[in-house]
Amino acid sequence: MTLIHLRVSDSKTQKPVPVRIRVADLLGNSFHPLGRRQFFLTAPHMAVGGQVAFENKKYYYIDGACEINLPPGVYNFEITKGERFHKVFKNLEIKQGQAALRINIERKTNSPWENWISGDARCHDLSGPAAVLEGSSEGLDLVHLLACENILPGTDIVDASRILDFSGQEIAFEKFGCSLFVNTLNHHPFLGTIGIIHSHRPVFPLVSSSAESPDVWSVVDWCRQGHRKNGLITWVFDATNEYQGEALAALILNEIDLFEISNLSLDDNSPVLFWYMLLNAGVKANAVGASGKKSNAVFLGNPKTWSKMQSLSDTPAHLSWLEAVRKGDSFFSIGPFLELTIINLTPLNKIQLIAHDLSPEDEIELVIDGKTITIERDKSLASVTIIRELDPSEFEWVCGRVICSHNNKPDLKAHTNPLFSCNRNSTFSQEKALAIKKLEVLFNNTETWLRTLGPKEKKRVDQILDILAEAKAKLACGN
């Protein structure tokens, strides 16, 4: 073995920078930095941080330098640092007696990313140093870790240790140009799960069930506590949970700010397709991307949410990101840049979709009231600007997205938030009626469960039933 001191530097500053790295021989055997392990756990909540495994490859996060044992030979180096830097894919030879290896990673020039702020709206189980190291390596400016209760694998022990790191509206840890904030994830098995960001204090209980306590908070209670001093509330939707009626009601009644997207698949139970259903039902819900990382099988920023930096403003980056995301002035992505704007309102809506960093296999689509339109483009170009005119009386909402197929199965790579028609047709379409009917199932299931609770819960049950009734009435009127 030859002990190599490896350093990865920004080609412009020549200073070491955090990166995600993979070193493998030409047979595909990977090699790990000293202090790390070749075989690491990928189960949830198990020793999370510092490495990640996906697509049958193992990667390690380094702060710009590491030591690694490599026999003389040729190795493939795969190095990434988010969207603002070019990826490094190169074969390099390690010679007998070699002691050091220096690799530069280049920042993109004339890149749209420089004027945008990137954040991951939810992750778990990382320490502060691990979160900012991984965040910086993935090109994130902000990481939001949400403390939650977990059952430790192989035990019946409940762990909520990350609550000790709660920072609320303050930065918990900052390094490498990445800031970590620690808030809470609050879960009810029947009423729904929410993420609370930028809260003035921790909101308890982290896990609640009316079946266990007569003095339990509901989802709306949590939302109002989190909103008290400008917190941001997200609905962490669970496609396998047939209840969640109060979370849905909270979204309709604007007690929840954003619908979270942490799964970019377009399968039948995809949160993206549920989001489309919400929009078709008349619920003007903006979305935020989050990795939901809780294991070494997921990387931070998968996806990340981008918001435009406020020009001529001294607003801190995290507050700028927070307010832009709250308003939907953002997009989520795992690669391509995507911005959708209206450039003319009358007599037609002239919309502009700008895309950068496209791959030849990427397809650009407009999603209009849930129906997709593929945009023809020159596949040799990595950037494109598309302008379309839409009659505002003939649509309710429109989004832009980038998809790429793997094994004949399309997955999202980027998605904008919706633009809404300022003069939409007020008549109920068949699609809207069907969407409302499907959403009402969550209300009905939740109501059925609430009515199984004992008399000690009557006051709380009545309060939640009133919330559901108000939301149902608003939904029935087209929201």
Per-residue pLDDT of the chain (479 residues; tens, 9 = 90+): 689 999 999 999 999 999 999 999 999 999 999 999 999 999 999 999 999 999 999 999 999 999 999 999 999 999 999 999 999 999 999 999 999 999 999 999 988 998 999 999 999 999 999 999 999 999 999 999 999 998 877 788 888 989 999 999 999 999 999 999 999 999 999 999 999 999 999 999 999 875 555 456 799 999 999 999 999 999 999 999 999 999 999 999 999 999 999 999 998 889 999 999 999 999 999 999 999 999 999 999 999 999 998 776 788 999 999 999 999 999 999 999 999 999 876 677 899 999 999 999 999 999 999 999 999 999 999 999 999 999 888 899 999 999 998 767 788 999 999 999 876 555 668 889 999 999 999 999 999 999 998 888 888 899 999 999 999 999 998 76
Write down the number of H helices and E strands in the chain: 7, 29
- Return residue ranges of the chain for CATH 3.20.20.140: 112-420
Assigned architecture for domain 2-105: Sandwich (2.60)
Instruction: Give the pLDDT of residue 367.
Output: 97
Q: Which fold has domain 112-420?
A: TIM Barrel (3.20.20)
Handedness of CA 341, 344, 349, 352 (dihedral sign): negative
Alpha-carbon gap, residue 377 to 22, rounded angstroms: 34
Alpha-carbon gap, residue 426 to 429, rounded angstroms: 9
- Return residue ranges of the chain for CATH 2.60.40.2190: 2-105
Instruction: Give the pLDDT of residue 309.
Output: 87
Q: How much of the chain is helix, strand and coil, in % rounded to 5? A: 20, 35, 45
Alpha-carbon gap, residue 143 to 97, rounded angstroms: 41
Output the furthest CA–CA distance in the chain (Å, rounded). Answer: 78
Q: Give the three-state DSSP class for 91.
A: strand
Rg over alpha carbons for the chain, rounded to the nearest Å, is 24
Report which of 461, 462, 464, 445 is spatially closest to residue 453, judged by C-alpha positions. 461
Residue 165 φ/ψ, nearest 5 degrees: -95, 5
Instruction: Give the pLDDT of residue 156.
Output: 84
Vertex 37: Cα angle to 33 and 38 (nearest 5): 90
Instruction: Give the pLDDT of residue 424.
Output: 57
Instruction: Give the pLDDT of residue 152.
Output: 79
Instruction: Give the pLDDT of residue 313.
Output: 74
Alpha-carbon gap, residue 184 to 201, rounded angstroms: 9
Alpha-carbon gap, residue 361 to 349, rounded angstroms: 29
Tell me, what DSSP letter sits at residue 163? G
